[in-house]
Amino acid sequence: MRVSKTLGRLAIVASLAAGPAVAQTPLKDVAHVRDGILHVGMAYEISEKCGSISARIFRGLGFLRSLETHARELGYTQAQIDAYINDKAEKDRLEVIGRQALADMGVIEGDEATWCAVGRAQIAANTRIGWLLR
């Protein structure tokens, strides 16, 4: 999956401002941020594997920016945010989680029809993943 690209995009849209407080919980344990990044990665992967579905790039980038802002509002510094989004082990962990979630939804690797069916179902249900697709 393109979770690493998704995490990289978060780094690109991150601002230079640093939050003043030190957060107590590891950023990877902040569900809103972690799950948001995961959903963006899953939506991107669906758009790459299904020719009839596209990613809403600007919506996705705006959402990633909102996750970064949320992390700053929670007191995480830009250095902590950057460390999280550049953490290879975390990228690998999220990729495994995302692939399993997609498989649980019915995706079969190498079968475009299953990617499209899952993508259309997410769009119809207006889930976070579906909201990031068209």
Give pLDDT tens digits for 90-131.
Answer: 999 999 999 999 999 999 999 999 999 999 999 999 999 999
- At 2, the pLDDT band (50, 70, 90 cuts) reads low
pTM value?
Answer: 0.79
What b/e string do you get for 7-36 counting C-beta neighbours within 10 Å, with b at 16 or more?
A: bebbeebbeeeebeeebeeebeebeebbeb
- For the record, the structure tokens of 50 come out as 């299904």
Q: Rounded to an integer, what distance in angstroms lies between the CA atom of residue 2 and that of residue 127?
A: 19
Q: For 133, phi and psi rounded to 5 degrees? A: -120, 160
Task: Convert the pLDDT of each residue in 57-95 to its tens digit.
Answer: 999 999 999 999 999 999 999 999 999 999 999 999 999
Domain parsing of the chain, residue ranges: 3-14+27-131
C-alpha–C-alpha distance, residues 121 and 87, integer Å = 32
